Structure 1
Amino acid sequence: MGTSSLSLHHPPPLLLLLRLLLLPFVTAQTILNITNRCPYTVWPAALPVGGGMRLDPGKTWILKVPYDTTGGRVWARTGCSFDGRGNGTCQTGDCQGMLACQTDGQPPYTSADFSLDQYVNYSFFDISLYQGFNVPMEFLPMPDKAQGGPGCTKGPHCGASITSQCPSELKAPGGCNSACTVFQKQNYDMYCCEEPPCESNKYSAFFVRMCPEAISYSSDAPTKTSFSCRFNTNYQVTFCPPLNLTSSPPSPPKSADLRTLRKRSSVGTSISVAIAGAIVSIVAFIFFIIRGRRTQRRQEMEEEEEEFGQLQGTPMRFTFQQLEAATEQFKDKLGEGGFGSVFEGQLGEERIAVKRLDRAGQGKREFLAEVQTIGSIHHINLVRLFGFCAEKSHRLLVYEYMSKGSLDKWIYARHENSAPPLEWRVRCKVITDIAKGLSYLHEDCMKRIAHLDVKPQNILLDDDFNAKLSDFGLCKLIDRDMSQVVTRMRGTPGYLAPEWLTSQITEKADVYSFGVVVMEIVSGRKNLDTSLSEESIHLITLLEEKVKSDHLEDLIDKSSNNMQADKRDAIQMMKLAMWCLQIDCKKRPKMSEVVKVLEGTMDADSNIDHNFVATNEANFGIAGNANSSAPPIATDLSGPR
């Protein structure tokens, strides 16, 4: 065994001579296409072949690795600044102050590691996590059509983001600074340790779970193996990789058994003249129908499980047994809604909220949408999805725990709950947080994401009343080159934009819903409240009347003295809401403009129409370039959850 092992790395003289003779005919280099898909600039570094450079969003760096390079690595650095000589600093994955790297960077960082071995005609590659994480990335072989494919195993992918896990002192664009270099000595035990393996490094432990394909040097990491390809394979390294957020349509149900049964039933019925025969036929028919349905359902579940297993870029997948244990057999229910119930749980040191879906409610399409959408995007104002379970008939989603619950418990009339009225400052913060989350979905993702169910029940609050948008089961992706999408009606009555009458939707439908939510936050009541007098049932209709009579102050929440003291600011907030509530969707602002108004860097449009509810066939601002979908169905309308 010793001889064969040595021969792998030290070929015999004859083989070496053959290799040298064939050298002019061997591919002269391996190509690494390094692409930045992040919304911010990164400074990728490469050793020992590439040095470093600036890579703006959407740009690609083609790195040519000579055949005689035995191995190296590529990683991203963020928050960098350099002088004219290339000396400077980076917030993550620093290279000792050099733009052209000569040594490895300082952890934490994630790197694409590769080794090339022409003697065995293979190259090996992996993603490695060093004491934490820098930028989400993937390292994939590029197919060689001339040779019928890459001739190698799949590549590793790590699409999670550490930013939301960082203490504020460590946060950097795209990741974390090294805790060991930022915190004082007394904090080492809490955040990091001197050298890997590092049991107390909570960032490494987090990515052991979130990046199962990556090699981690945390002591609790399972053993990983490298991926391998033919020696002349080229590779694609992508920072913040775009994810395939569309799912394959479900397989059509297999009805061969049902057709056979109908035929048998028909024949049995036609020749049955005795009551006993009829009963036997009916019993047999029911038996085969039940068996056929069970078989069909089992096949569908197997197909669904296989489809979930093929998804790229999805978060961690849990077993039902794991989540049953984490929630202590679903003991503590946090809430219940139209699609299922939410339970409190614990995974290690992390408190979690587990949404157990009702199979009669949220279907496969909505479940796929939620897993792929929220599981592949990361923003401080979007609730984090840790993972999911798709096992037999079980469908569960694992979220971060939001201690204050949903916004509706805090803003509606006091007789419905015991929560104290929110101060005006807190209400403004919540409104700003929601706006920033929607702005990210609409304008900063690879595809525009329309949430389509913006309402207080889907806005969650943490200990400090930071607001995060949740529940992406009804979301819709809109290509950047499409002005709108034709889709079936979905959402919640009271929050639906007027253009739903046409089913031709843009992300501006979310802007209208946001305007409704702002009015609810300011007024402390539901948009549709049947407990009130007939003329006051609909808040947005009441808004039309009050703005025309110049009595907007009548709508301010009277249960809070603090709100009355900030009456002028509350009226300005209602004017922003009215801009969002324009019937013509083209006259509504973009959410990034809403954020600017809230931050005081621009003013809301004052030249607006004061009719906010469509009572006839109005101009909804529909554009001409639409992507077709299915006709409206009632089951996509969502109740509170």
Structure 2
Amino acid sequence: MGPVKLLFLVIAAAAPLLSAAKPSNNSMAKPPMLWTNNNDPLFNLVMLPILIQDYHNSDGLNFVAGFLCASNPTCDVYLFAVLITDVNNDGAMVDENAPAQVIWSANRDRPVRANATLEFTSGGNLVLRDADGSHVWSSGNSGRHVDGMVITEMGNLVLFDHRNATVWQSFDHPTDTLVPGQSLMEGMRLKANASPINSTENELYITVLQDGLYAYAESTPRPQLYFLHQMQIQRIGNAPTKATLMNGSLSFIWGPDMNENITLPVAQYTQYMRLDSDGYLRLYEWSSSSQSWTVVYDILGSMGMDPCDYPTVCGEYGICTGGQCTCPLENNSSSSYFKPVDDRKPNLGCTPLAPLTCQEIQHHQLLTIPNISYYDNFTIFDTQNNKRTSISDCKQACLENCSCMAVLCRGGECVSVTKVFSMQSIQPETNGYDYSAYLKVQLSPADENKKKPSNENKKKVMLGARLGSVTTLLLLFIVVALYLQRRRKYEEKDEFDFDQLPGTPTRYSFEKLSECTEEFSKKLGEGGFGSVFEGKIGEERIAVKRLEGARQGKKEFLAEVETIGSIEHINLVRLIGFCAEKSERLLVYEYMPRGSLDRWIYYRHNNVPLDWCTRCRIILDIAKGLCYLHEDCRRKIAHLDIKPQNILLDDNFNAKVADFGLCKLINRDQSKVVTMMRGTPGYLAPEWLTSRITEKVDVYSFGVVIMEIISGRKNIDNSQPEENVELINILREKTQNNQLIDLIDKHSDDMVSHQEEVVHMMKLAIWCLQHDSIRRPSMSTVIKVLEELPINIYMFDYLAKLYLMVLYLQS
């Protein structure tokens, strides 16, 4: 179970009522004993476990065993579990609202009700029974003498004999979590929960095999592999392999002095590793400052896993493209045989419009989906039993087998699967192979008539097809010839037009820019329409942006040359020159040595955290640059793509707005302009849905950037747990609960020490993030607030509440 609020219940001993309120609140118990999960309202006022670790960890947490609520808010079913929490000497939780983490449970797939019992029998067996007396779980060790039960300093629930030898232990039966010192032995599994609030198992699990770590999704006739990490050191001997979570590493050990490590962050406080419901293997650590569990490492992601590589990232039948989920469409067709499970949550997957039925197998059809890779490319094409001699044989066999749901192809190989998890859209000829998928769908008689022409019309159809082919080829030849002729004239005119641009920056030849960038060898990064390279003209360092595809990027090129060439401001990147030769389009900018802002706030490059003063100055610089564009130019300029990647920093961390490829000019007498959607997901204002926008879309994006600077993370971060993917959603929740302090970047002690000022800055961001664009401030007003002119700071509290009320009404 995830770190949700877990309510401890009274654990009443099988004795008179008076003694029932006093459980054994220490680390050891002796048989025979009986504990009752008593749901009497009187006892719910006291929250006591069965066993408590006999000392606090360095961060004040304890390992505890007991009954706990497995459903909120009704609290009508319960688990017997071991968890990490904070309890006092009387066994009561210090803070009922503090999140607790379950590290093991006996009955995750079969919760019990109130008045269930846990018996420690005289024979030394632990037996869990439901309220009606039915058997739910037992430790299964009744054949050996047991002297007592203890919870150890590592969180291991142990039954031991009179020699203190272990008879049974919870570490031998892991659920979804490992704690430091715990091992996953060869053949053991970590099985993910169904969801962060549902402790039942889902189909994803991780196991240790002889040569490494493997992650699977359960399926028939065989599990489907979605990750493997094979050990690089050659094995010697047949000793079983085990993976042990240690402080700073996940160690694979298979004999004396035979080990290999995956490096992990060293623990400052209590850590645990959990296989989450989305298939990610994450390392969590307790944060004493925020009093919460935080993700400190994405273990599979660090070893090359992309968000689209996970089997449930887009649910069943979903197609993942750059982290976005869609439903399958037939090749060269706009018709669909699938619909989203939930239109508002595309990541939940897709379902066939017509359910498949074996009673109508004659109406089954295979839908062709090209350029589709399946996540199980590790082993799926190495399973000889599923291979056919040809793709057509594979497809025919699938149509004849009702349990076959799809045929997956790579080059000339194909296999069938009985369950279709998430798929991934890829470029043609990836890794030298053509990938495709054929998904089984149920056709109605009307659909079949569309697919199959009648016999008497077949000859007419074939003749028409031949004539159509000849006509199409002839027309295509004429069109290509006219296009090439027009293109030659257009390029000549185009070159002339560029020469005639009045007041433009210096024009350079392509040869000159190629020479000064050393044949474009020093790549600084990639922008929306091309790559950026470092160069040098004389003694001046420059950044050269080379647009990809002249025809595709011409409008953006002209916009940057004409717009940036005519404006100059200390907080806008200066355009030095440009190049326009045939298909080549290049822009020459001043060089910004610190690179883009995202390098400094997302911690991808191990940079030192920015202090609060520097972050404030960067926010003010961005505001001044936008204010100049919106209010001081002859025509208002909406940038339309404000994000950290388009904010560049000089040596002194002065910020400048860059990349005007998507900008839109707005006349002073225009209240709104109509334009097609452009920009970057995660930074787009709500009014983009209507395509009628103003410069206030930049104010919304500016609010998102403020929150990313303050929190040190992206707005949309798919490496986070499902409930924490979108930062703006978390901001809404934290504002409602008056917990804005939780969003402050914990990498910087300086940020924490200025938390009051940081919270005021968050409220400014909330003002900018209002759904109604009219209520957002102008950038000149933002600058006045940032420069501490007499603007009532308590206005933000009112605006924050107004923003939350609007969001509530919309939901």
Q: TM-score, normalised on structure 2?
A: 0.40
Amino acid at match of 1:357: L
Would you say 1:524 and 2:715 are equivalent positions? no
Instruction: List aligned pairs for 1:264-413, cutoff 5 A.
Output: 290-359=480-549, 363-412=553-602
Q: Decide which of 492, 495, 504 is 2:683's aligned counterpart.
A: 495
What residue in structure 2 maps to residue 507 of structure 1?
695
Percent identity between the two aligned chains = 60
Q: Would you tell me which structure has more helix in proportion to its own residues?
A: 1
Instruction: Evaluate the alpha carbon distance shift between residue 383 and residue 614 of structure 1 in structure 2; reply closer, same or farther with a 3 A threshold.
Output: farther
In structure 2, what is the Cα distance between the partners aligned to 1:282 and 1:398? 44
Is there any run of 5+ residues in structure 1 with no aligned partner, and where?
Answer: 1-272, 620-641
- Contact 2:550 2:585 (C-alpha < 8 Å) held by counterparts: no
Report if the CA contact (8 A) 2:546-2:585 is conserved.
Answer: yes
CA drift at 1:285: 6.8
Distance across 2 between alignment mates of 1:307 and 1:612: 51
Give the counterpart letter for 1:393 in structure 2. Answer: S
Paired with 1:307 and 1:617, the residues of 2 have a C-alpha distance of 52
- Confirm or deny that 1:563 pairs with 2:775: no
Q: Deviations over 1:183-236 (max 9, x none)?
A: xxxxxxxxxxxxxxxxxxxxxxxxxxxxxxxxxxxxxxxxxxxxxxxxxxxxxx
Deviation at 1:288, TM superposition (A): 5.5
Match of 1:82 in 2: none
CA contact (8 A) 2:551 2:583 kept: no
1:424 match = 612
Matching residue's letter, 2:691:
S
**2:497 counterpart letter in structure 1:** E
- Residues 355 and 398, structure 1, Cα contact 8 Å, conserved in 2: yes
DSSP 3-state at the match of 2:799: coil
> Which whole-Å deviations, capped at 9, do the CAs of 1:65-116 have from their partners, x for residues lacking one?
xxxxxxxxxxxxxxxxxxxxxxxxxxxxxxxxxxxxxxxxxxxxxxxxxxxx
Q: 1:512 to 1:280 in 2, by over 3 A?
A: closer
Q: Write the deviation string for residues 389-429 of structure 1: whole angstroms up to 9, x where unpaired.
A: 111000000000001110001001x3x22211111111111
Alignment CA distance shift 1:612-1:310 (3 Å):
farther
List aligned pairs for 1:140-219, cutoff 5 A.
none
Q: Out of 471, 478, 483, which is 2:659 matched to?
A: 471
Measure how far apart 1:501 and its partner are.
1.2
1:602 is displaced (CA, Å) by 3.3
Partner in structure 2 of residue 61 of structure 1: none
**Alpha-carbon distance in 2 for matches of 1:325, 1:617:** 59
Tell me whether 1:439 sits opposite 2:627 in the alignment.
yes
Cα 1:392/1:616, change in 2 over 3 Å? farther
Written as runs of structure 1 = structure 2, the 5 A alignment for 1:82-161 is none
- Please state whether the residue corresponding to 1:387 is helix, strand or coil: strand
Amino acid at match of 2:613: R
Shift of 1:321: 1.2
State whether residues 374 and 385 of structure 1, in contact with CA within 8 Å, keep that contact through their aligned partners in structure 2. Answer: yes
Deviation, 1:307, is 2.1
CA 291–551 in structure 1, closer or farther in 2 if over 3 Å, else same: same
- Kindly tell me: are residues 575 and 281 of structure 1, through their superposed partners in 2, closer, same or farther at Cα, counting changes over 3 Å? closer
Bigger radius of gyration, 1 or 2? Answer: 2
Separation in structure 2 between the aligned mates of residue 613 and residue 430 of structure 1, nearest angstrom: 30
Cα 1:362/1:452, change in 2 over 3 Å: farther
2:647 matches 1:456: no
Q: CA deviation at 1:311?
A: 2.0
After TM superposition, the score normalised by the length of structure 1 is 0.51
Secondary structure of 1:557's match? Answer: coil
Say whether residues 1:608 and 2:799 are aligned partners. yes
C-alpha contact (below 8 Å) 1:381/1:433 kept by paired residues: yes
Q: Which runs of 5+ in 2 are unaligned?
A: 1-462
Residue in structure 2 matched with residue 67 of structure 1 by the alignment: none
Name the SS of the counterpart of 1:377 in structure 2: coil
Query: Structure 1 CA distance, aligned partners of 2:767 and 2:469?
Result: 67
Deviation sequence 1:597-622 (CA, Å, 0-9, x none): 11111335323154479879969xxx
Q: Distance in 1 between matches of 2:787 and 2:482?
A: 60
Instruction: Report the CA distance shift for 1:279/1:551 in structure 2 as closer, same or farther (over 3 A).
Output: closer
Instruction: Provide Cα deviations, 1:455-499, integer angstroms capped at 9, x if missing partner.
Output: 000000011101000000111111111112111111111001111
1:553 aligns to what?
741
Structure 2 Cα separation of the partners of residues 477 and 304 of structure 1: 22
Change (3 A) 1:361 1:424: farther
Aligned counterparts of 1:539 and 1:460: Cα–Cα separation in 2: 23
Quick one: which amino acid aligns to residue 533 of structure 1? P
Distance 1:294 1:410 in 2: 47
- The question of whether the paired residues in 2 share the 8 Å contact of 1:583 and 1:612 is answered with no
* Distance in structure 2 (CA, Å) of the matches to 1:612 and 1:391: 52
- Classify the secondary structure of the residue corresponding to 1:390: strand
Give distance in 1, aligned partners of 2:805 and 2:720.
Answer: 19
Give the direction of change, closer, same or farther, for the CA distance of 1:573–1:297 in structure 2 (3 Å limit).
same
Distance 1:287 1:595 in 2: 59
Tell me: CA distance 1:302–1:361, structure 2 relative to 1, closer, same or farther (3 Å).
closer
- In the TM superposition, what whole-angstrom CA distance separates every residue of 1:231-279 from its partner, at most 9, and x where no partner exists? xxxxxxxxxxxxxxxxxxxxxxxxxxxxxxxxxxxxxxxxxx9xx9999
Q: Which has the higher strand share?
A: 2
1:354-376 per-residue CA deviation (whole Å, 9 max, x = no partner) reads 00000178521111111111111
Do the aligned residues in 2 keep the contact of 1:362 with 1:473 (CA within 8 Å)?
A: no
Once structures 1 and 2 are overlaid, which stretch shifts more, 340-349 or 352-361?
352-361
Deviation of 1:319 (Å): 1.1
- How big is each residue's C-alpha offset from its partner over 1:137-174, in whole Å with a ceiling of 9 and x where there is no partner? xxxxxxxxxxxxxxxxxxxxxxxxxxxxxxxxxxxxxx
Tell me which amino acid in the other structure corresponds to 2:763: K
Instruction: Indicate the structure whose relative CO is greater, using CA pairs within 8 Å and at least 6 residues apart.
Output: 1
Letter of the 2:488 counterpart? R
* 2:484 alignment partner AA: R
Residue in structure 2 matched with residue 229 of structure 1 by the alignment: none
Partners in 2 of 1:486 and 1:284 — Cα distance?
Answer: 40
- Structure 1 residues 361 and 616: alpha-carbon distance in aligned structure 2, compared to 1, 3 A threshold: farther
CA contact under 8 A between 2:594 and 2:651: conserved in structure 1?
Answer: yes
1:8-23 alignment, distance < 5 Å = none
Q: Secondary structure at the match of 2:569?
A: coil
Query: Which residue of 2 is the match for residue 232 of structure 1?
Result: none
Corresponding residue SS for 2:607: coil
Matched residue count: 347
- The one-letter code sitting in structure 1 at the alignment partner of 2:799 is I
Secondary structure, aligned partner of 1:356: strand
Deviates more, 1:352-361 or 1:549-558: 352-361
CA pair 597-280 structure 1, distance change in 2 beyond 3 A: closer
